[in-house]
Amino acid sequence: MNEEERAKIALKILNKTYPKTPIPLKHRNIFTLLISVLLSAQCTDVNVNNVTKNIYPKYNKPEHFVKLGRRKIEKLIRSIGIFRIKAKSVYNLSKTLVEKYNSEVPKTFEELEELPGVGHKTASVVMSQGFGYPAFPVDTHIHRLAQRWGLTNGKNVVQTEKDLKRLFPKKYWNKLHLQIIYYGREYCKARECYGISCKICTSCYPKRKKPIKTKKA
């Protein structure tokens, strides 16, 4: 079985398992989506949602966070990992949006990736989930799953993203990114499936008996 055949199997199972894919990070607008994605680095979506549910009703525009200042932002997101670094990024990002983009979130990868604290993955999530532009955000979890399913042998997320874009038609990218995340959390967990028990793993590799080790991104 080659990688194209494995990709078709994975897509079929994912479409059947998750016909609908709600965005896991709660947000009020594209700006708050951007902030939530930034906050979600090295942190669970659940934790981010628990924190932002008390923030977004009152603070949901770039000028709100500029007015708050770094110290107050730190207090608001204190329970999130590396909160000081993230508070600095949120403040500087908000300031840049106010001063350079009239408080609007830019709609291109280049402009998004120039914002403080925004990398390629964060920009990809905003482009796909916020603006509906075809993108395939790849984090360490998707990187791990793509290796387990034989869709990439990439040593990093950059190579994995290229491989997944090559294997799957562009029209599926935005939904597929979320489907893979949901499936990984429910069926192909890092310390439970090991590449030998979930439906995608057993369908793609019916003869696999030993747990597979994946290369870290």
Show me where the domains of the chain are located. 3-21+136-204, 30-130
Contact present, 105 and 98 (Cβ < 8 Å): no
Give yes or no for residue 104 having a pLDDT over 70: yes
SS3 84: helix
What integer best gives the mean pLDDT of the chain? 95
Nearest-angstrom CA–CA distance, 63 and 85: 19
Nearest-angstrom CA–CA distance, 200 and 58: 43
Give yes or no for residue 148 having a pLDDT over 80: yes
Fold of the domain spanning 30-130: Endonuclease III; domain 1 (1.10.340)
Contact present, 117 and 38 (Cβ < 8 Å): yes
CA atoms lying within 13 Å on the CB side of residue 49: 8
Supply the pLDDT for residue 155: 85
Give yes or no for residue 184 having a pLDDT over 80: yes
Give yes or no for residue 81 having a pLDDT over 90: no
pTM (two decimals): 0.91
Q: Predicted confidence band at 212 (pLDDT cuts at 50, 70, 90)? A: confident
Which of the residues are catalytic? 121, 139
Q: Report the CATH architecture of 3-21+136-204.
A: Orthogonal Bundle (1.10)
Supply the pLDDT for residue 217: 65
* Section 165-194 average pLDDT: 95
